[in-house]
């Protein structure tokens, strides 16, 4: 859930390093209880997360164990945590209260979750922590994205009567015609035979994924997803009532043997893939791997959604299944949040012609139309090659950042599980990154533990880093110290 209780402490304040002090007007017990309470309210400790043992917590903060016991007692009294005999203390389930037939409150079985959730990372995007670069974030720094041609595009899109025309009536259902023409030219340049009539603009790429899911699927359908994979996609499909089938993703592509077994047993309707600069590994699909996946889709009658969110920073001529398939069984999804304007929320999908009208119906039922002024401004940013040149500058800057971040990570004792590429690095820290995530929060850093990227959320030693935000040597010094303590 993305909603939170009334008037919670802002995420940025929770991420700030906080020190328990004996000179405070509040007791150490109260300070410790409030620290955990704030994290629970802000989903930094979601339902089912395990708190440190009394002994561990006392050692970590230099407290007497009795102080920790008293703080945990306060949290229990507030209904935030529960004690489980011989197991420890856990965050209580915060879903709807279930009642038995006689009206008594029934206690739901707790669901285990990663100490840092997908919702936490999303919240962190909106509440950055005190100016510190955040290694767990999935976006480029704002100063990398800012470009003068964006403002020029807005001015051109809203000049004269265009402002009224774009504000006082709904836009075209499919999306702004100028943008769809520009998108068709871009996709055709990649070898994708997309016609403007079969491109639908959306409120970001995630909205495009949602439109496709709601159109093609019904609750209970099986959907194959790559693992490790995007935590938000797992959560989104689960919320729609789909059966999520994780497919291991390797350097050349998904595990075809597992996909074959899923097809024989579960008859999945859809496969969601990030072919190029996969999140979190950075892998790019090989031509042979793409061809085999398409053969499997033909043989077992499922569709493929290709999420090309990172296509703007990808190597030229990277393999895309939608190009090889010609939009027969594939749906192509992308947007501009990662490369140019996150808050414009401009995304799009290109679909097989037979599906266009049904997809459009789903869009209209959810949002009516999309903001034509911003879509027209985006078209102006594309038409003179400004976006292409901007993306080239971003790629060069990211190449430099990646080289520096890789050296710092290796010096801190990390090893790269996948060859560093694109925006993200997939590293092995050698320690439990769920536990490390909570320790890093005390220092003001939000990291992305590997459990976030697995459907089963099992703890491990992997971590995703953002190359653009891990060039700060001070972060790696803190990381090294805490890694040593946990090891």
Q: Please state the separation of Cα 57 from the chain's center in Å.
A: 30
Top-confidence range, 61-75, 148-162, 205-219: 205-219
Lowest mean pLDDT among 14-23, 341-350, 468-477: 14-23
Q: Is 200 a member of any domain?
A: yes
Which pLDDT belongs to residue 459?
81
Q: Is 149 a member of any domain?
A: no
Domain that holds residue 83: 11-96
Q: What is the pTM of this model?
A: 0.81
Asked if residue 336 and residue 269 are part of one domain, the reply reads yes
Q: Which residue has the higher pLDDT, 36 or 22?
A: 36
Q: Is 147 a member of any domain?
A: no
Q: Which of 223, 197, 119, 140 is nearest to 469 (CA)?
A: 140
Asked if residue 372 and residue 403 are part of one domain, the reply reads no
Asked if residue 376 and residue 235 are part of one domain, the reply reads yes
List pLDDT tens digits, range 405-462. 999 999 999 999 999 999 999 999 999 998 898 888 888 888 999 998 998 777 899 9
Asked if residue 271 and residue 286 are part of one domain, the reply reads yes
Q: How far apart are CA 125 and CA 148, in angstroms?
A: 23
Q: Select from 351, 384, 417 the last residue of a domain.
A: 384
Q: Select from 384, 411, 441 the last residue of a domain.
A: 384
Q: Report the relative pairing of strands 347-350 and 330-335 from DSSP bridges.
A: antiparallel
Asked if residue 447 and residue 395 are part of one domain, the reply reads yes
Which pLDDT belongs to residue 44?
74
Whether residue 4 has pLDDT greater than 60: no
Asked if residue 189 and residue 313 are part of one domain, the reply reads yes
Mean pLDDT of 299-321: 95
Which pLDDT belongs to residue 87?
87
Q: Is 114 a member of any domain?
A: no
Asked if residue 377 and residue 406 are part of one domain, the reply reads no
Asked if residue 419 and residue 369 are part of one domain, the reply reads no
Which pLDDT belongs to residue 344?
92
Q: How confident is the model at residue 345 (pLDDT cuts 50, 70, 90)?
A: very high
Which pLDDT belongs to residue 39?
83
Q: Quote the number of domains for the chain.
A: 3
Q: Which residue has tokens 């010609």? A: 326
Which pLDDT belongs to residue 246?
95
Which pLDDT belongs to residue 444?
84
Q: Report the relative pairing of strands 330-335 and 303-307 from DSSP bridges.
A: parallel
Q: How confident is the model at residue 128 (pLDDT cuts 50, 70, 90)?
A: low
Residue 204 near residue 183, CB atoms below 8 Å = no
Which residues does 87 contact at the CB level (< 8 Å), separation at least 6? Answer: none
Q: Select from 355, 384, 413 the last residue of a domain.
A: 384
Which pLDDT belongs to residue 47?
78
Average pLDDT of the chain is 87
Which pLDDT belongs to residue 118?
62
**CA distances to 98, 339, 439, 464, 465 from 124, in Å:** 31, 19, 17, 15, 15
Q: Residue 90 forms beta bridges with which residues?
A: 50, 82
Does an H or E element contain 201, and which?
A: strand 199-202
Q: How confident is the model at residue 477 (pLDDT cuts 50, 70, 90)?
A: very high
Asked if residue 284 and residue 222 are part of one domain, the reply reads yes
Asked if residue 284 and residue 170 are part of one domain, the reply reads yes
Asked if residue 356 and residue 400 are part of one domain, the reply reads no
Q: Is 325 a member of any domain?
A: yes
Q: How far apart are CA 209 and CA 206, in angstroms?
A: 5
Which pLDDT belongs to residue 2?
33
List pLDDT tens digits, range 67-125. 999 999 899 888 899 999 888 999 987 654 333 344 333 333 333 344 556 666 666 55
Q: Is 118 a member of any domain?
A: no
Q: How far apart are CA 442 and CA 444, in angstroms?
A: 6
Q: State the virtual CA torsion across 452, 475, 403, 147 in degrees, nearest 10.
A: 80
Q: Which residue has tokens 């600069």? A: 277
Q: Residue 215 forms beta bridges with which residues?
A: none
């Amino acid at each position: 859930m993305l909603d939170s209780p009334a008037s919670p402490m802002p995420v940025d304040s929770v991420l700030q390093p906080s020190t328990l002090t004996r000179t405070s007007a509040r007791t150490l017990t109260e300070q410790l209880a409030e620290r955990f309470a704030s994290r629970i309210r802000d989903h930094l400790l979601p339902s089912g997360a395990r708190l440190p043992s009394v002994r561990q917590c006392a050692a970590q903060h230099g407290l007497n164990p009795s102080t920790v016991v008293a703080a945990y007692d306060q949290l229990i009294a507030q209904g935030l945590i529960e004690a489980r005999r011989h197991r420890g203390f856990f965050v209580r389930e915060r879903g709807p209260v279930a009642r038995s037939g006689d009206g008594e409150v029934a206690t739901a079985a707790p669901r285990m979750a990663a100490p840092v959730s997908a919702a936490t990372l999303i919240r962190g995007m909106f509440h950055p922590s005190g100016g510190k670069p955040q290694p767990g974030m999935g976006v480029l720094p704002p100063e990398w994205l800012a470009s003068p041609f964006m403002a020029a595009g807005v001015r051109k899109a809203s000049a004269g009567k265009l402002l009224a025309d774009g504000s006082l009536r709904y836009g075209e259902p499919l999306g702004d015609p100028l943008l769809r023409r520009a998108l068709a030219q871009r996709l055709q340049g990649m070898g994708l035979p997309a016609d403007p009539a079969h491109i639908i603009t959306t409120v970001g790429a995630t909205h495009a994924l949602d439109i496709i899911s709601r159109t093609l699927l019904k609750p209970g359908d099986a959907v194959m997803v790559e693992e490790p994979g995007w935590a938000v996609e797992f959560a989104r499909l689960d919320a729609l009532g789909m059966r999520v089938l994780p497919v291991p993703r390797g350097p050349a592509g998904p595990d075809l043997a597992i996909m074959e077994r899923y097809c024989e047993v579960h008859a999945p309707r859809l496969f969601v893939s990030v072919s190029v600069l996969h999140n979190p590994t950075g892998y790019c699909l090989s031509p042979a791997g793409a061809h085999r996946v398409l053969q499997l889709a033909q043989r077992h009658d499922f569709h493929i959604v290709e999420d090309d969110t990172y296509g703007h920073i990808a190597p030229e001529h990277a393999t895309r299944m939608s190009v090889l398939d010609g939009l027969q069984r594939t749906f192509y999804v992308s947007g501009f949040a990662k490369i140019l304007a996150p808050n414009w929320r401009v995304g799009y999908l290109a679909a097989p012609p037979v599906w266009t009208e049904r997809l459009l119906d789903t869009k209209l039922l959810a949002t009516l139309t999309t903001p034509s002024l911003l879509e027209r401004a985006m078209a102006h940013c594309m038409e003179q090659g400004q976006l292409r040149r901007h993306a080239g500058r971003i790629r060069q800057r990211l190449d430099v950042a990646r080289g520096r971040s890789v050296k710092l990570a290796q010096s801190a004792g990390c090893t790269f599980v996948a060859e560093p590429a694109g925006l993200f690095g997939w590293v092995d820290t050698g320690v439990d990154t769920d536990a490390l995530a909570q320790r890093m929060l005390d220092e003001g850093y939000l990291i992305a533990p590997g459990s976030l990227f697995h459907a089963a959320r099992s703890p491990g030693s992997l971590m995703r880093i953002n190359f653009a935000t891990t060039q700060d040597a001070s972060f790696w010094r803190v990381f090294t110290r805490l890694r040593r303590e946990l090891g």
